[in-house]
Structures are given as structure tokens and as C-alpha cells.
Structure 1
């Protein structure tokens, strides 16, 4: 048993404990509170004067898929050979030895959603992973967590250069509808011949996974919403650069937004209105918000800085913390395990020197599944696997 005591605990579960204890056993949180009884044989980590909170979660990255310092040979995110590749699986591209996993750990990012890029109309399946481990299959929290689709500029540019569809936004929508209709017809057959593409799209139709719609412009977001309504799909908006323009409508439809990346230049037309104030507009309208880095677009270790910049632009600081903890956990469908400090959840915890959103604050300790993996800002236990 392990007791982390005397810290200011930000549970992200609607309470802050000014001087409390988190009790951990067998990789799970057993108890959290201000009057937790600690057994005499427990290991103790005294964190007096420090802040304790759940590990950070980034719902939209390409961690391990576009690898650090390797270049083209480590770029496995975009299969540009065809506009419809729903059968691709992120787990087959993730390299757990990517340097960025250690960067994530040192920054307190303990769980990520990672997946294919946005060159295609349908790009493949995304996955949720812990950021510690050497065997990707053992790092999985949930697989899959979504099916990636892309609207707007990216598929148009990629396939326009190849002189094949989609040249236009109309063709993107038509190709997606066609894939959904073909999969629906496949499901209606009594004894269909197995088709791996139709099987992947069928998961979207059966609501086993949401359609993760890459969409920056408001009109592209509306196209995604339109198609989701037509086929009765679960939907998340990924990026949402112009989502502030239709924030009320998104709230009315109950569609969450995984917002970002915003700490970047206006590198293409779709980013011309990028602004951190969009986060405030979305939350005030009632939209569930997660903040992303889109790593490697923004390096994964700057997730908390992105949240802090959203606060600077007007977002409430507690909402900003929710946007990098419980909200992404809920959007990824893994909030039963991670995202807050509550009994029964995985003991993924970080200890900070101060305010989690302050630039000067340091991540001093990181625990994943109750095991200390970062201590005094340095990774440890790098030669052993974590057990559930």
C-alpha cells in the first residue's frame, strides 16, 4: 500500500482537498480525503506544500506514429494511397520507444489518444494508451476509441495532387456517405463475404466508436454534423478552429470538441481564425471541451501550457484543468479508469511544485498504475513493465 499525504489535492471530481491523502493499492486509488487512515506498513510519500492531481490526458495526438528525430522513416500517420482506409489501426503504427513518450511522462501526461492523420476521407482507428511501457499491447487503455474522418483542406490537397477524388468538399462528403451506405448494406446481408473495410465502418454505424471528424472551418463542422445525423452516428469534432461561430448549435447537438492546436502559426487557410479564446466561447455555450496538442504539431510536453494560454484568453482555470483530464477521458470513453482522483480508478497521479497551469511549476513525480515512473523530474523504472 502507498500513501501520498499532505498535498493540495485537485481531485477534478468537484472538490479540492487542501491537505489530504491519496491511498493506493494494487495500482488503484483506494481512498482520497483529508482524514484517511494510513496503515503502519504503508509506504509514504510526503508531498507537503505540493499539488497532487490526476495525470494529464491529451485526446488527440499522433504520439509514437510520427516519431521524434527520425524524419520520413518514422512518419506512419498518413496512408495516401487511397481516400478510404478505415481498416487501418493505430496500434500497428505506434512505436513505444519514441522519445516523445518520455517527454510526455516528464510533463505529467499519462494517457493519450493517438491515431492516424488527416490526409484521407476515412483514415483509420485511433487508440488510447498509457505513456509508459515497452510493449504497446500492454499500454492500451482502450482500442479503438474512434474512427478518424477528415473534412476540408487536407484530403482535397492530397488527392487533388493525384488528380483523383476528392477534389472538392462535395466529393469528401459523398465518399464518406458512400462508405457508410456500403457498410450498412453489408450489415443487412445474411451471409456476407468478410470485408475488412466494411467491418471497420460498421463499428461507426453500430456506435461502437464515434466518428472523430477532423474539421477546422465552421462549414466543414456542419457537414460532419449533417452526415452524423443522417446515419445516427456518435460524433466528436477534432480541431474546431472555427467552432466558436457555431458554439450554441454544437451545444444543442451535444457534440464535444477536442480543440487545437492553437499554439501554432496560421500555416494554412483553415487556421486563419485560430485563437485560444475559442475555448472560453465553447465552454460558456455548454460544449464539452478537451484541449489537444495534436503532437507533434505542438510537442506533447506543452499540453498544460496550451491550457494555461486558454485561461489567459478567458477560460476558467478549473474548466481548463477539466479540459486536460476528465473531459478527454470522457470523450475517449475511458473515464471509468482515468481523468480524476476517485476510488477505484487507476492510480495515475502527478505531483507538482505549484499551480499546474503556471509556466514555472515543475512536475516532480509521476505515478502510473500506482508505480513511480518519474521522480524529481527524471524517469525511473525504465527497465520494468507496469502491471495492472
Structure 2
């Protein structure tokens, strides 16, 4: 396969996501999509790559992972996902703990996943700043699409358990909500001061980005009552809310749709390991989508290994989700939620050449990724079938 950034992928079945599928070609010039269509001119000097009838899709996007901050098989040495020394760690940045050499990034590329959003964990009521990045790079700063891409917060069992075991606040849902309110109130008071008189305050500075609508509030919540608390807090402080996980969001689908709040649903292929996920359902993405909610499907890697993102989408289709909406849930929908849809999420001229050739319909889990490109660079190529483990 070609290593350069100027080529034409021909003889392909192309799913641009932004329009109807077609059979044709896609032109990449200097790492950007230059043209695509049933009949497009093949520029001189561009190598021709025969897709042999394979399906070409934009690189997939997982909008909620812990890649590089929760390294698989590394134990405490690779566990940088939760700074549990304080319930409010709004100023910590996932960016500072990501190891781009972690094996999960290679798994992502092999699965056609080219963009992820890396979050701090859910041990704290306010966990820290997330970052959206590409899945290929030597230095994480070179992989960044948007930083920060949101501020992570958690309701429900996780913060209640972590601090309850220490017999300190917060050890109830009451205390978790109070902790969030207190932090936002302090940030608003800090904002109200003359800038010349404000003391240095990294926590309030991070929360101010949420209050000023510079970044969204990424609310980890599962149960319907916790989702209702998330809505209540958003009303009180007026920030842009994104529901992460939303296990029981389907029970409030009409309310969430009416408010225009996106749901990042998942992980889906997991056991009922705690009370708040006992009503998880693979039917939920379809229910939410039909109600008018913008749904993204997530793995929460390493909770569900990132390579199973497409399997979760296929499961949602099996349980009633429209196939077109399922593909949008792992491409353009998360791109829009992350604020990076101007660069990724669809195949359109001017966008980054982040794409993959599949052996066939990706929602048929018998098919696989043949090749993946990021910024026009080939980052994965399948091995011959008889050499694979």
C-alpha cells in the first residue's frame, strides 16, 4: 500500500455519511479529501489504489474512552485515570497522562477508529478536562483535535462509593450534587471579580470555561434519577450538557429530546456489574434516536475494548436502530458533540483524509477493516488471513 498522501481510491463503494452511498472514487491530496464521486478525475501524480469493491467510510469516532490514561495490563503503573485525592479536580487534564504508545491505540486503528475523546475517570464529582485526538502519533500534542473538549463530571455510584469508603464528603447523591453546586458557585464568584483582582485559581478557571459555553459539561450518569439531577444542575448554571453513558436515558427520551441534549450511549457489551446499570438495554440507542435524541455509541474503553465499537453499533441495529443512524452514531454525531465536525466525521472535500476501507458492510460483523488512513497517512493495513492469530 501507498505511504504518500496523494492518491485515488477507486473501484469503491463509498459511504460519505453526509450523503447517499455510491460506487466510485475518492481523491486524497496532501492529506485532505480533494474530491469524491461516481466519476472524478484522477489527478496526475496520484497513485491509484484499487479498493476491489470494498466499502470506504470516514474514520470511526469513539467519544468516550480512557485510552492512554488507563493502560491495559499495566496495573497501578498505567492507572492515571482518576486523581482521587480531592472530590473536585476540575483543573487536571487527561492530556497530561496519555501514553500514545499504549496498545489500545493500535487496536483502534485496526478497527478503523481514527478519532477518540479521552476522559478522566468517574471517581470524582468533578474529574477534569477531556481531550479529542487522533489515534496515531508519537507525541500526544501532535494528535490533538480539540483541547479541552469538555469537563468531566460524575453523578451516581462511583463518587459516592469512593468518598463514602473514606467517610468524607461526598458519600451520598445529596453530597455529590452539593459538591458540584459549591464548585460552580465559587467559580461564579471568582468570575464576578475584576480580572486584576482575581487570585490564581485553576479550578475556577476550568469551570469558567463551562459557564462561558467554551466547552460542554460531560456528565457521567446512568440512572434516570441521576439524569434528572444532571438536567436540574444544567438549568441552575446554564451550561451546555452532554450525557455520558445515559444507561436509563431511554426512560426519559422525550424529555432529553425536547431539550436537545446529546447522549453518548454505552458501554453496551458489559455485565450488570452494579445496581445503576441493571436496566441497560441494547434497544436504548434506537429508542433514543426515534425520539429525536442525537445519539453517539461509545465503548468506555477499556471497559469494552475499543475494537468492539462497531459491534455495539451492529447490536443496536439488531435491536431496532436504523442502520444509517447507527453509522452516524459512530461518525458525524460524535464529531459534532466534540466540536470537530469541520475536520472529521464525514467524507467531504476539504476534510481530513481520515478513512478506512472495509471488506464489506461494517455492520455485518463478518467484515473487517483492510486499511486505515489518518491525515492521508496509511496507519493500518491488514495482514494476510492465514497469518492472523
TM-score by length of 2: 0.96
Instruction: State which of 69, 73, 94 in structure 1 corresponds to 2:73.
Output: 69
Instruction: State which of 202, 208, 211 in structure 2 corresponds to 1:205.
Output: 211
**1:179 pairs with 2:183:** yes
Q: Secondary structure at the match of 2:105?
A: helix
How many Å apart are 1:14 and its aligned residue?
A: 2.4
How many Å apart are 1:229 and its aligned residue?
A: 1.1
Instruction: State which of 6, 11, 16 in structure 1 corresponds to 2:16.
Output: 11
Gaps of at least 5 residues in structure 2 are: 1-5, 385-389
Q: Give the equivalent residue in structure 2 for 1:44.
A: 48
Deviation digits for residues 125-150 of structure 1, max 9, x if unmatched? 00011001110000101101100000
User: In the alignment, is the contact (CA less than 8 A) between 1:365 and 1:377 conserved in 2?
Assistant: no
**1:83 pairs with 2:83:** no
Q: Give the equivalent residue in structure 1 for 2:231.
A: 225
334-343 or 34-43, which moves further after superposition? 34-43
After TM superposition, the runs of 4+ consecutive aligned structure 1 residues lying more than 2 A away are: none
Q: Give the equivalent residue in structure 2 for 1:385.
A: none
Q: Give the equivalent residue in structure 1 for 2:347.
A: 341
How many Å apart are 1:358 and its aligned residue?
A: 1.3
Distance (Å, rounded) in 1 between the aligned partners of 2:144 and 2:199? 30
Instruction: State which of 112, 119, 122 in structure 1 corresponds to 2:116.
Output: 112
Q: Give the equivalent residue in structure 1 for 2:323.
A: 317
**1:283 pairs with 2:292:** no
How many Å apart are 1:376 and its aligned residue?
A: 2.5
Deviation digits for residues 28-64 of structure 1, max 9, x if unmatched? 1111111111123211111121000000000000001
Q: Give the equivalent residue in structure 1 for 2:202.
A: 196
Deviation digits for residues 295-320 of structure 1, max 9, x if unmatched? 00000011000100000111011110
Distance (Å, rounded) in 1 between the aligned partners of 2:292 and 2:15? 23
How many Å apart are 1:5 and its aligned residue?
A: 1.0
Distance (Å, rounded) in 2 between the aligned partners of 1:39 and 1:115? 41
Distance (Å, rounded) in 2 between the aligned partners of 1:146 and 1:41? 42
Matches within 5 A, 1:357-372: 357-372=363-378
Instruction: State which of 143, 166, 171 in structure 2 corresponds to 1:167.
Output: 171
Q: Give the equivalent residue in structure 1 for 2:332.
A: 326
User: In the alignment, is the contact (CA less than 8 A) between 1:13 and 1:341 conserved in 2?
Assistant: yes
CA-atom RMSD in angstroms: 0.9
Q: Secondary structure at the match of 1:207?
A: coil
User: In the alignment, is the contact (CA less than 8 A) between 1:279 and 1:315 conserved in 2?
Assistant: yes
Instruction: State which of 248, 261, 286 in structure 2 corresponds to 1:242.
Output: 248
**1:214 pairs with 2:217:** no
Instruction: State which of 27, 34, 38 in structure 2 corresponds to 1:30.
Output: 34
Q: Secondary structure at the match of 2:183?
A: helix
How many Å apart are 1:194 and its aligned residue?
A: 1.2
Instruction: State which of 140, 158, 182 in structure 2 corresponds to 1:136.
Output: 140
User: In the alignment, is the contact (CA less than 8 A) between 1:106 and 1:377 conserved in 2?
Assistant: no
Matches within 5 A, 1:260-271: 260-271=266-277
How many Å apart are 1:377 and its aligned residue?
A: 4.6
Instruction: State which of 19, 25, 30 in structure 2 corresponds to 1:21.
Output: 25
Distance (Å, rounded) in 1 between the aligned partners of 2:183 and 2:142? 32
